[in-house]
Structures are given as C-alpha cells and as structure tokens.
C-alpha cells in the first residue's frame, strides 16, 4: 500500500511539474514571440514603413506577455466568455492585424523585385493604385512607342525589322490573319488600312502615331 501511495505521489508531482514547465515554456522566447517573416523586403523604398513593421511586432509580443504575466490571460488560445478576456483577445487581434498589414506589403514588395521591378517601380504601383499586370502593359507600350519613333520614318514595302514584327503581332491580336515575319509587305499594309477604316482613322495604310496608339489599346 505504501508503495502504491508513493507511486501515485510521484505521478502527481511529475504531472504538476510537466504542466508548470509547459506553461513556462509557452511564455518564454521564442515560444510566445511573433517573429519577423523571412520573405519581407529589407530594402523597401519606404524605410519608415519597415520600422513600423518592427514596432508593430514588438508591440504585439509585449502585449501577449503582459496579458499573461499580469492577468493570466493567454490571448492567443482562449475560449473563455469572460468579458475581460474577450476584450483582451479583441485588442490582440487588432495588433496582429496591424502586423499583417505591414508584413503583407513587404512580402509583396520582395515578390515584385524578384520579378524584376525596382523600388521606383513599386512606389509607382502603390501611389497610382495600378496592378502589376497594368504596369507591365504600360511598360511594354512605352517601349513600343519608342520603337515606333525610331523606325516610322524608314517604314517601306520590303523593309524587315523588329518594329514590323511587333506591328504584325499587334495586328494579329486585332484579328487580322497575316504572317508575323518582320517583313513589311502589301498584306501588312492592307491590314493597317483595314484597321484604320474600322476605327475611324484616316485610311491611308500608313502607320502614323494615332494608328499605332489605337493598335496598342
């Protein structure tokens, strides 16, 4: 009987010790801490935004440990209906939301840079409120306009160039069945003429700026 009692006491002590250790571990770094995301842009164009992210994490972690040590509330894992706990959890959710707001934008910035964009490009995307797809389209159109300006004076039947190749691609997108070979032949000129007629442009078969900009739309 004595051995059984001792055995039961040992089990109780071990259980208490384990639970105490478990609670201690949960609120000992790094267990309770929200850590910075490894995929954020550390060279984000707005340095103050990055600083706000770090401060938001510090504020969140401080709130978690304070609520536990001062009030015995685990704001991360609680199903209590107590008003004080519910209020604490609500505030924790707000603080976590602030962290995620900064984090999501910083992660997105790094993803955009991995696709080739610069800080200046990303700042433009954010200030203008346009999507990456729209930005890429505008960038491509800008390059094509430059190509147009550099080649339009030389465009003639029989000419073969990168500009003619891009012109033919645009005409194909508009529904014209022509070869895309970079060679400016009668079939390409006639397609330009037909496009001008359909879009209320002066139908001379020549690729002027108005015709080219209409093709880019």
Enumerate the β-bridge partners of residue 160: 183
Spatial CB neighbours of 68, under 8 Å, sequence gap ≥ 6: 27, 32, 74, 75
- Kindly report, residue by residue over 79-130, the tens digit of the pLDDT: 778 888 889 999 999 999 999 999 999 999 999 899 888 898 888 888 887 7
Contact 37, 107 (CB under 8 A): yes
Q: How far apart are CA 205 and CA 161, in angstroms?
A: 18
Between these two residues, 24 and 164, which has the higher pLDDT value?
164
Between these two residues, 105 and 206, which has the higher pLDDT value?
105
> Which range scores top for mean pLDDT: 7-11, 18-22, 68-72?
68-72
The rounded mean pLDDT for the chain is 83
Enumerate the β-bridge partners of residue 183: 160
**pTM of the full predicted structure?**
0.58
**Is residue 8 over pLDDT 60?**
no
Q: 35 to each of 15, 70, 111, 135, 190, how far by Cα in Å? A: 31, 23, 20, 33, 63
Across 159-180, average pLDDT: 91
User: What confidence category does residue 21 fall into, taking pLDDT thresholds of 50, 70 and 90?
Assistant: very low
- CATH code 3.30.70.890 for 132-216: no
Between these two residues, 166 and 28, which has the higher pLDDT value?
166
pLDDT of residue 194: 92
pLDDT of residue 10: 46
């Amino acid at each position: 009987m004595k051995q059984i009692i001792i055995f039961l006491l040992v089990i109780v002590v071990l259980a208490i010790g384990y639970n105490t250790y478990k609670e201690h571990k949960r609120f000992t770094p790094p267990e309770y801490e929200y850590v910075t995301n490894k995929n954020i842009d550390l060279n984000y164009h707005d340095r103050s935004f990055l600083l706000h992210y770090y401060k938001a994490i510090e504020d969140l972690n401080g709130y978690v440990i304070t609520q536990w040590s001062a009030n015995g509330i685990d704001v991360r894992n609680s199903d209590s209906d107590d008003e004080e706990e519910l209020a604490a959890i609500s505030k924790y959710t707000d603080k976590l939301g602030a962290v995620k707001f900064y984090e999501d934008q910083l992660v997105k910035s790094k993803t955009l840079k991995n696709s080739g964009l610069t800080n200046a490009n990303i700042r433009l995307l954010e200030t203008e409120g346009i999507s990456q797809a729209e930005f890429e389209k505008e960038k491509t159109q800008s390059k094509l306009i430059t190509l147009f300006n550099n080649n339009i004076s030389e465009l003639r039947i029989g000419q073969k160039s990168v500009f003619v190749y891009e012109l033919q691609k645009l005409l194909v997108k508009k529904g014209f069945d022509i070869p895309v070979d970079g060679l400016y032949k009668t079939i390409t000129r006639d397609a330009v003429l037909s496009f001008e007629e359909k879009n209320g442009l002066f139908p001379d078969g020549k690729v002027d700026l108005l015709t080219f900009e209409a093709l880019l739309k």
